[in-house]
Structure 1
């Protein structure tokens, strides 16, 4: 039985039990992300939360700092803990800034699962129950190794739209390791404004015409980079890989501009912690070990299978 079948069976069982069990009391969980309002990648996680709510009869409140400010995120976690929810699910984008509020929540007796950003080791250090996400250094290294097998680049540009998130730097440095070069100055802080990203990519490639490959870290940086390559005539001429999926990324793969996208399966990062916390709250079931939701490569050979779900379930 594959994981999707197992999850479906689990959900059906929980829903059925929830209709009759004295333990099903409409739990309330809070999901806190580091994403700004402008980051569409998180729509897949929001879909997962909504579907988990409906299936399990729980409430999940999604909260985030509108501008992506980590200090604001820390305050959101503190405010969430003060409401004494049945569980908190949080990304761990900045360990130094977020470990304190999350540890405080745990010490209040609130179950915490970390997802997406951060590492299994950091999650364990604060006392969280588990971590669900993609090992980012590994994902970056696998991306670099794939690039070497397909194009043997000697230099690259990593377009980092969230440089304050350690996981994003891990992706860039892992890619450098995978192709066997030093990261050096090949990572740029692009910011999150599409026009600014496009102009910075154009400027870097103009100043470094020997660049063999480009790595973007998600839809926020991938879409403007695609526009930059159309403008300077390098679309389809320079090796281009990216993390995550979106409609623009799917089109780039179909049109042979992007070679592949790394799918960390964000749906699992939203859906699984809600299911697991519900099991824990209702039945006292122990949580399993950490779950690596990625990496997996989506290529032109497989894009048709996932394109229609990009931004929804993929």
Structure 2
């Protein structure tokens, strides 16, 4: 869901054990949010006391006004993020504030479009802007502009702690895409895959590049290999075009024995391509993110895994933290606030299916 100029979200790679521990700490710390104040930065948990009571109380006309920049309205992944943000927005609205969601028409020019949306939000004199840093070269200037004007910025979904530190953002809330990819690459290799193809429909985007790099490094650590199949970003959301491109790649290279896609729409296309290429008996499938069709295939043994970054939590935590910081000056000490990755396989798919039916996974 993001274009140009690849950049890995994190400079420091966290172990899966560390990811799990930080995620557990995050959940525990949410219940204690009123006990933390100030700003934490860097990729280790740091608690720093606020010495300026006005630091977290920037409001528009005396009321909290939060603008959330996300994906397309018809993108299932972003629907889950928005659902989380809308649930958190209920408390904002109860206090007389507002939460506004903005998104692009398509993903053809996402970096510049996201920068324009940030400037649109800034023109409304918001208290806070919640924004993914998909394409740093296109977006950082607009994010820094907002910070310079006193707007509190929270980076979420893409960019990592590096983006927050670089732009002046307060926190990063989201998954570690590189580690998610690495876990997927290891899983493929452990299942016997030797030649993995990472299908990237938004080549150059920070998230997708980190995911494919993680797949390659994870596979390499277990003696397998992976290469990327970059497709034009205009193909994103075009099932027919993606299916035909993947089918062509499979027919051209009979050695491919595993496919991973950067999103659920592409995974459905990949499943169709595998069937059309008559390769279902030798090509394993995996994807990032969840949908009912992915989980059904995992449950039926037709898909090896789906990697969940728990988008509902990204929206919920980002809006909640912005509101708590603006209203009370309180802030969780952990940075990043990790929502994933979580590998969904046949062993734990039933619980994931329940969450998807509820619209939160």
Residue 55 of structure 1, CA deviation: 3.5
- Is 1:76 equivalent to 2:117 in the alignment? yes
Aligned to 2:350, which of 282, 304, 311? 304
What SS does the corresponding residue of 1:229 show, helix, strand or coil? helix
Q: Is this contact kept in 2: 1:111–1:128, CA < 8 A? A: yes
Residues of 2 paired with 1:5 and 1:140: CA distance?
Answer: 26
Distance 1:252 1:166, change over 3 A: same
Aligned to 1:201, which of 239, 246, 252? 246
Residue of structure 1 in register with 2:131 after alignment: 90
Residue of structure 2 in register with 1:48 after alignment: 84
Q: What root-mean-square deviation, in Å, do the aligned CA atoms of Structure 1 and Structure 2 show?
A: 2.2
Residue of structure 1 in register with 2:338 after alignment: 292
Matches of residues 250-269 of structure 1 in structure 2 within 5 Å? 250-269=295-314
Matches of residues 9-48 of structure 1 in structure 2 within 5 Å? 26-33=63-70, 35-48=71-84
Q: Is this contact kept in 2: 1:236–1:257, CA < 8 A? A: no
Residue 116 of structure 1, CA deviation: 0.7
Residue of structure 1 in register with 2:37 after alignment: none
Residues of 2 paired with 1:84 and 1:183: CA distance?
Answer: 46
- Is 1:122 equivalent to 2:167 in the alignment? no
Q: Is this contact kept in 1: 2:84–2:360, CA < 8 A? A: yes
Residues of 2 paired with 1:161 and 1:10: CA distance?
Answer: 38
What SS does the corresponding residue of 2:286 show, helix, strand or coil? strand
More RCO (CA 8 Å, sep 6+):
2
Residues of 1 paired with 2:175 and 2:125: CA distance?
Answer: 29
- Is 1:164 equivalent to 2:204 in the alignment? yes
- Is 1:99 equivalent to 2:121 in the alignment? no
CA deviation map 1:79-129 (0-9, x unaligned): 101111111000110001000000000010000000111121122111100
Residues of 1 paired with 2:29 and 2:199: CA distance?
Answer: 37
Distance 1:157 1:79, change over 3 A: same
> What TM-score results when the alignment is normalised by the length of structure 1?
0.88
Residue 230 of structure 1, CA deviation: 2.6
Range moving further from structure 2, 239-248 or 172-181? 172-181
Q: List gaps (5 residues or longer) in structure 2.
A: 1-23, 35-58
> What TM-score results when the alignment is normalised by the length of structure 2?
0.77
Q: Is this contact kept in 1: 2:194–2:225, CA < 8 A? A: no
Residues of 2 paired with 1:182 and 1:157: CA distance?
Answer: 9
Q: Compare the two structures and name the one with the higher helix fraction.
A: 1
What SS does the corresponding residue of 1:310 show, helix, strand or coil? helix
Q: Is this contact kept in 1: 2:164–2:172, CA < 8 A? A: yes
Q: Is this contact kept in 1: 2:181–2:215, CA < 8 A? A: yes
Q: Is this contact kept in 1: 2:261–2:267, CA < 8 A? A: yes
What SS does the corresponding residue of 2:158 show, helix, strand or coil? coil
Residue of structure 2 in register with 1:244 after alignment: 289
Distance 1:78 1:216, change over 3 A: same
Aligned to 1:188, which of 208, 225, 230? 230
Pairs aligned (count): 299
Residue of structure 2 in register with 1:67 after alignment: 106
